[in-house]
Structure 1
Amino acid sequence: MTALSAILSCSAFLLATAIFAAFIARSKQAIKFIYGLSFGLSAIAFAIAVDALATATSPDAASSLVLPIGLPWLGSHFRLDALSAFFLTVVNFGGMLSSLYALGYGRHEHAPHRVLPFFPAFIAGMSLVILADDAFTFLMSWEFMSLASWALVISHHRDTNNRKAGYLYIVMASFGTLTLLLAFGLLAGPDGNYSFASMQAAEHAPLTSGLVLALLLVGAGSKAGLVPLHVWLPRAHPAAPSHVSALMSGVMTKVAVYGFIRVVFDLLGTPTWWFGIVVLAIGGITAVLGILHALMESDLKRLLAYSTIENIGVIFVSLGLALAFKANGMGLAAALALTAALFHVLNHSFFKSLLFFGAGAVLTATGERDMEKLGGLIHRMPVTAVVFLVGCIAISALPPFNGFVSEWLTFQAVLQSPALPQWGLKLLVPAVGGLLALAAALAAACFVKVFGVTFLGRPRTGLAERATEVDGFSLSAMSALAFLCLAAGVLPGIVIDSLAPVTLSLIGQRMPAQTDIPWLSIVPIAEARSSYNGLLVFLFILFSASLTAYLVHRFGSRRIRRAPAWDCGFPISDPATQYTASSFAQPIRRVFGTLIFRARDRVTMPPPGDIRPARFTLEMHDHVWEGVYLPIVGAVGFAAEKLNYLQFLTIRRYLSLVFLTLVLLLLALALWS
């Protein structure tokens, strides 16, 4: 059996597991059985995908398969190459660890029968999208993935906000699928050949290529969370159970990135230089707006969802750089930028899944995801606190963890921009580099807030004070991801060399081999320009921290003394005197809030002698939601109300309306011809 057939078989068994789950979902053993099967099948597919990526030595090593299902004259085409093998690795590893986490977390679900049938189907749908080798199979799998994830989003359907999130998500998903359908229609051309091989071999006019890029940015970008198509993501991802949120945020958004790369880098052929300008600008704006929204949040899962938008922006900045370099024949720089994008895809799947797992652990232990009602959890959930801290450091792009390496590679690609011939790119790339630097700094501030307010200080409520550590399955999944965040940051050369077959197939060039460099350093372009050694940085941090601890205990007091924090002479024991998530973000809100959020705060202070409490009121607005989507919703509602009378017409009026429509269509056809 070939690797492609084996992975398709795993997807088929996952679909069979989903069907079987519908019948046994209410039994006591269903959680262990379904999640255990999902874990095993995802692990098998993951191992096969890793082996396929390791053995993909040339673009010709891809395997194909046609199944007699789907359209009668087309069938269903599937293909496994280096690009699909890499993304299958991401999908199935995420599915494997989400299943492991769910073995413990799933026991706390109020309605597991609404989750179990759709969870393995969701994993299978994502795998089928990546394996699809024709437009029909791709779109069918894409829609199946969207519907399965939508069912998981509304699994807690009794919550009004969850129902609204599910409705918004399915509308945006349907709109995205429509734009992808139009994009593939343009690629297929008048011959209507929907196989990817035919699209790749065809010549595409510049106007067609531009339209396809625009449609891909809408279709794949809406699923990934690009601004201004991001509005569904911070509503839908938190609504789902936490192990599903990790899959949606850490994995499903990468399937959208795969769709963009497959079409723009593979099917469209050589890009035009201005493609890079469009993708760079959208990516830079997405990164900054995403992390600014995250900073303003106090809901832990919504904050993580907004942070996903920021990381998607970072990935698309790297992809925009790769397009600009590829269009100008700068193969090595394009390979560097594409490697940075793919590395960040992998890294984000690690640390974002870890953080959503951590949020799920906090939710299980306390019943709360509002950071204003948490605090002090490091004493009650020490293991969760440590692994969550690893995720916070990694997503803040701090060494020696993995988030630093991929963003560092992106900045190395930015530094290659002076060699670009177009002045538009020469001016835009440094500006976007500045936006990335701003986003990185804001991300660090954001996750200092997250960890500090959630895990440090004193418990703000009784729920936080009574919290206990979560189960072993959840801790195992989080610990594995924390270890990988460190391993990928300390040994990045192994990851970079593993990505070489992907860049070779899409760019025609790869980064220099990194594992042959002494001391496990990485050198993106040349040692005279820049290099990084994650292992030495890790050893230095470990040595300096150990030496500092030794000196403090050796020359200071060995006795541990505990005392309350300095309270400026006002001993007030109320936990409300601590910093809150809102107060932590106040300085940043005052800098950016007026422009980005139209933020207004007002303090009502009673006069002396008045015993009424002072009141603080904060008002913020989402420009995209209020300026773009609410008017569309209002227009649709108005049109629906005005057209409502059409369903009450008589038969004679219906026939007259049909006749008039037919005449107008024939007239339009006559004028067109």
Structure 2
Amino acid sequence: MALTLILACIAALFLLAPVAITIRAGAVARPVVYGLSATACSILLIAAAPTLLGGDTLVQILPLGIPWIGAHLRLDALAAFFLVVVNLGGAIASLYAIGYGRHEAAPERVLPFIPAFLAAMNLVVIADDAFVFLFAWELMSLTSWALVMTDHRDGGSRHAGYVYLVMASFGTLCLLLAFGLLAGSHGGYSFTTMRLSTLATGLQPVLLLLVLLGAGSKAGIVPLHVWLPLAHPAAPSHVSALMSGVMTKVAVYGLIRIVFDLAGPTAWWWSIVVLVVGAITAVLGVLYALMQHDLKRLLAYHTVENIGIIYIGLGLALAFQANQMAFGAALALTAALFHVLNHSLFKSLLFLGTGAVLTATGHRDMERLGGLIHRMPVTALTFLIGCAAISALPPLNGFVSEWLTFQAILLSPALPQWGLKFLVPAVGASLALSAALAAACFVKAFGVTFLGRPRSPEAAVAREVDVFSTGTMIGLAVLCLLAGVLPGLIVDALSHAVAELAGGTRLPPQSTLPWLSLIPVSAARSSYNGLLLLIFIVCTASLIAVAVHRFASRAVRRAAAWDCGFPDASPATQYTAGSFAQPIRRVFGRLAFRASERVEMPEPGRLEAARLHVKVHDLIWQWLFVPIAKAVNVASIRLNRLQFLTIRSYLGLVFAVLVILLAGLALWQ
């Protein structure tokens, strides 16, 4: 019954696309489409919850798809968890868009694709055969590409759409080849058949590479992250929240489904590859974010960082699982899945907050903002909560999942391989570094955007946004706080999905512990209590505030802030986003970005302003993708002569290709 209801809601979301096209009036279509999308996502979330909390696995086969095979669909605890993530984010983004959509210049280019995008992501999660999975995966890519291309007249949006489409097509091709390896020469394309088959040892490295490229290109791992900082600024803010907070998690689901479920027993060295990719992705993602002045680009690079954190958890789980350390695998998987949920919450909150700032001021550049805390207090408070959560500060949710990841790292000395004994502590150091840099980055983001004095006339006259936007941001902020204060409830809810992946092992029940404590291993090793920490913070802050106002306020003198020697107060004397990033850029810039600085200083007595020119390069784009693009261009020019072959030459070419394919099939068997 639950799976039938889920399919009905997915079908309803698909049907909303032509409805949005039919309704011409944007003022009528916006609340109808977004309201029905939010309703469908809410029903999907409720329908998936019983399976997540321990319900039976549901399977259904529809007479669609590949002939004689049909369309296989499956709802187990893992799929149910990701359905909750997808539809929680979808419902909140849809409600936000009811208000935000009033400012869309071309709603007819957004409304038809939003429900189809949501439906495709849901279909990916419940797919139980390769055809349905890849069909939904490609539909998810195409609908999100259409949303990135909303402002198609802008050259930057067209470039972002082109790069995104190329990366998405490359990822789909890699997943197609990965499923081909899993299906084998007998063509067992259903996931049930793949689970029963065994992959040859020599093909395991190929499978891991294809899955990392296929799912990683959509998730945004380094070096396949280049589309994120281009696509997120081009898309509307609620679409950016969906792509960053939800779609990248669907990509993580694809990796988990294949590696932990379909591929069978894996070798221990798989974990080394995933751990190294995760550590590099986390550190480079946050370093790139620190260099940004555009809020959306900054958040896009932080998506890269958080995907790296999730991959670190998955790499630890692979290491423990390969060495029959079931409890360690369960702990690492719990940390990774918890961070999937956490990132969907606080990243959606931050993107929606950025959308509110963009609506109120028309700017994403932090250098043209400032002082918004007085004019947009609700947005400022919720954005601050999101900044604290993504910086892994307790008692918010981001701290819990990263703390659990560190708890899994502390179990690594029991691993027998010396390579892992040395690698895992280095990965832990990378995780700590990325957390510290994230805190610095969001001090910059919040401080420059909301504090100080306005840096533009638009920021000086900004006003709070509509009730739908503020309401959804408040709701996400409350969820970030609840997930950090009551983590035991979420850990217990994840236990069935973790048990499916870790051979039946799960963490001990947490929700029944005194004071809602979280004790993943043992009380003697470590424990965390978000509720007591919140009470302590509130009481301490209240006492300090009372003491300051009662005993110290009379001694305070108010005066203008120091203005660097200028008699007229000017926003130009404030710290800027570049000022915050300068120390980090000088430490890491040469290595990570080949950064260069040039100062133009006028001669004494001249009144021209001094100027600082800073250049930061994306080395991965320059060293990897630019040469590939040039090679493809050269190859396409040389292969262009194939279209001028004679019929005899074409037949000979087809015959040669057929012989090669048959020889390959014979060797495979």
Offset, 1:570: 4.0
Structure 1 SS opposite 2:375: coil
- The equivalent of 2:267 in structure 1 is 272
Structure 1 SS opposite 2:597: strand
Q: Which amino acid in structure 2 is aligned with residue 620 of structure 1?
A: V
8 A Cα contact 1:25 1:117, kept in partner: no
- The equivalent of 1:624 in structure 2 is 620
d(CA) in 1 for partners of 2:254 and 2:658? 38
- The equivalent of 1:72 in structure 2 is 67
- The equivalent of 2:520 in structure 1 is 524
d(CA) in 2 for partners of 1:669 and 1:355? 50
Structure 1 residues 108 and 665 mapped into 2: Cα distance closer, same or farther (>3 Å)? Answer: closer
8 A Cα contact 2:216 2:224, kept in partner: yes
8 A Cα contact 2:281 2:304, kept in partner: yes
- The equivalent of 2:91 in structure 1 is 96
Structure 1 residues 666 and 245 mapped into 2: Cα distance closer, same or farther (>3 Å)? Answer: closer
Residue 311, structure 1, aligned to residue 306, structure 2: yes
- The equivalent of 2:349 in structure 1 is 354
Partner of residue 460 from structure 1, selected from 451, 455, 458:
455
Q: Which amino acid in structure 2 is aligned with residue 307 of structure 1?
A: H
- The equivalent of 2:381 in structure 1 is 386
d(CA) in 2 for partners of 1:243 and 1:670? 49
Runs of 5+ unmatched residues, structure 1: none
Q: Which amino acid in structure 2 is aligned with residue 310 of structure 1?
A: E
Structure 1 SS opposite 2:131: helix
- Alignment of structure 1 residues 479-558 onto 2, 5 Å: 479-507=474-502, 508-557=504-553
Structure 1 SS opposite 2:72: strand
8 A Cα contact 2:51 2:57, kept in partner: no
Offset, 1:542: 0.4
- Alignment of structure 1 residues 165-176 onto 2, 5 Å: 165-176=160-171
- The equivalent of 2:154 in structure 1 is 159
Q: Which amino acid in structure 2 is aligned with residue 382 of structure 1?
A: P
Q: Deviation per CA, 1:66-99, whole angstroms, max 9, x where unpaired? A: 0011111111000000000000000001000000
Q: Deviation per CA, 1:3-51, whole angstroms, max 9, x where unpaired? A: 1111111000000111211111444310011001001111111111122
Q: Which amino acid in structure 1 is aligned with residue 101 of structure 2?
A: G
Offset, 1:55: 3.2
Offset, 1:605: 1.5
Partner of residue 650 from structure 2, selected from 624, 637, 658:
658
Q: Which amino acid in structure 2 is aligned with residue 587 of structure 1?
A: P
- The equivalent of 1:15 in structure 2 is 14
Q: Which amino acid in structure 2 is aligned with residue 38 of structure 1?
A: S
- The equivalent of 2:241 in structure 1 is 246
- Of 414-423 and 69-78, the range deviating more from structure 2: 69-78
Partner of residue 587 from structure 1, selected from 569, 583, 590:
583
8 A Cα contact 1:276 1:323, kept in partner: yes
Structure 2 SS opposite 1:617: strand
Offset, 1:497: 0.4
Partner of residue 406 from structure 1, selected from 401, 405, 422:
401
Offset, 1:646: 4.5
d(CA) in 2 for partners of 1:451 and 1:357? 14
Q: Which amino acid in structure 2 is aligned with residue 55 of structure 1?
A: G
- The equivalent of 2:257 in structure 1 is 262
- The equivalent of 1:600 in structure 2 is 596
Q: Deviation per CA, 1:465-485, whole angstroms, max 9, x where unpaired? A: 011000000001100000000
- The equivalent of 1:54 in structure 2 is 53
Q: Which amino acid in structure 1 is aligned with residue 416 of structure 2?
A: P
Q: Deviation per CA, 1:127-186, whole angstroms, max 9, x where unpaired? A: 000000000000000001111100000011111100100011011000000000000000
d(CA) in 1 for partners of 2:661 and 2:109? 49
- The equivalent of 2:28 in structure 1 is 29
Q: Deviation per CA, 1:573-628, whole angstroms, max 9, x where unpaired? A: 11111111111100000000000000010112222234443221111111100000
Structure 1 residues 25 and 65 mapped into 2: Cα distance closer, same or farther (>3 Å)? Answer: farther
8 A Cα contact 2:387 2:446, kept in partner: yes
8 A Cα contact 1:25 1:116, kept in partner: no
- The equivalent of 2:572 in structure 1 is 576
Q: Which amino acid in structure 1 is aligned with residue 476 of structure 2?
A: L
Instruction: Give me the TM-score of the superposition, normalised by structure 2.
Output: 0.97
- The equivalent of 2:426 in structure 1 is 431
Structure 1 residues 641 and 534 mapped into 2: Cα distance closer, same or farther (>3 Å)? Answer: same
- The equivalent of 2:115 in structure 1 is 120
Q: What is the number of equivalent residue pairs in this alignment? A: 664
- Of 561-570 and 590-599, the range deviating more from structure 2: 561-570
8 A Cα contact 2:261 2:501, kept in partner: yes
d(CA) in 2 for partners of 1:93 and 1:463? 33
Q: Which amino acid in structure 1 is aligned with residue 515 of structure 2?
A: W
Structure 1 SS opposite 2:646: helix
Residue 82, structure 1, aligned to residue 77, structure 2: yes
Residue 41, structure 1, aligned to residue 36, structure 2: no
d(CA) in 2 for partners of 1:666 and 1:114? 43
Q: Which amino acid in structure 1 is aligned with residue 505 of structure 2?
A: Q
- Alignment of structure 1 residues 331-346 onto 2, 5 Å: 331-346=326-341
Q: Which amino acid in structure 1 is aligned with residue 525 of structure 2?
A: R
Offset, 1:633: 1.0
Structure 1 residues 72 and 560 mapped into 2: Cα distance closer, same or farther (>3 Å)? Answer: farther
Partner of residue 634 from structure 1, selected from 625, 630, 635:
630
- The equivalent of 1:108 in structure 2 is 103
Structure 2 SS opposite 1:155: coil
8 A Cα contact 1:25 1:112, kept in partner: no
d(CA) in 2 for partners of 1:271 and 1:636? 35
d(CA) in 1 for partners of 2:392 and 2:413? 25
d(CA) in 1 for partners of 2:555 and 2:460? 27
d(CA) in 1 for partners of 2:284 and 2:243? 20
Offset, 1:279: 0.2
Partner of residue 295 from structure 1, selected from 281, 290, 293:
290
Q: Which amino acid in structure 1 is aligned with residue 523 of structure 2?
A: E
Q: Which amino acid in structure 2 is aligned with residue 48 of structure 1?
A: A
Percent identity over the alignment is: 63
d(CA) in 1 for partners of 2:304 and 2:634? 32
d(CA) in 2 for partners of 1:64 and 1:234? 38
Offset, 1:551: 0.6
Offset, 1:671: 7.2
8 A Cα contact 2:563 2:573, kept in partner: no
Structure 2 SS opposite 1:30: helix
Q: Which amino acid in structure 1 is aligned with residue 406 of structure 2?
A: F
Structure 2 SS opposite 1:28: helix
Would you identify which runs of 4 or more consecutive aligned residues in structure 1 move more than 4 Å? 558-562, 666-673
- Of 450-459 and 206-215, the range deviating more from structure 2: 206-215
Offset, 1:561: 6.9
d(CA) in 2 for partners of 1:115 and 1:598? 38
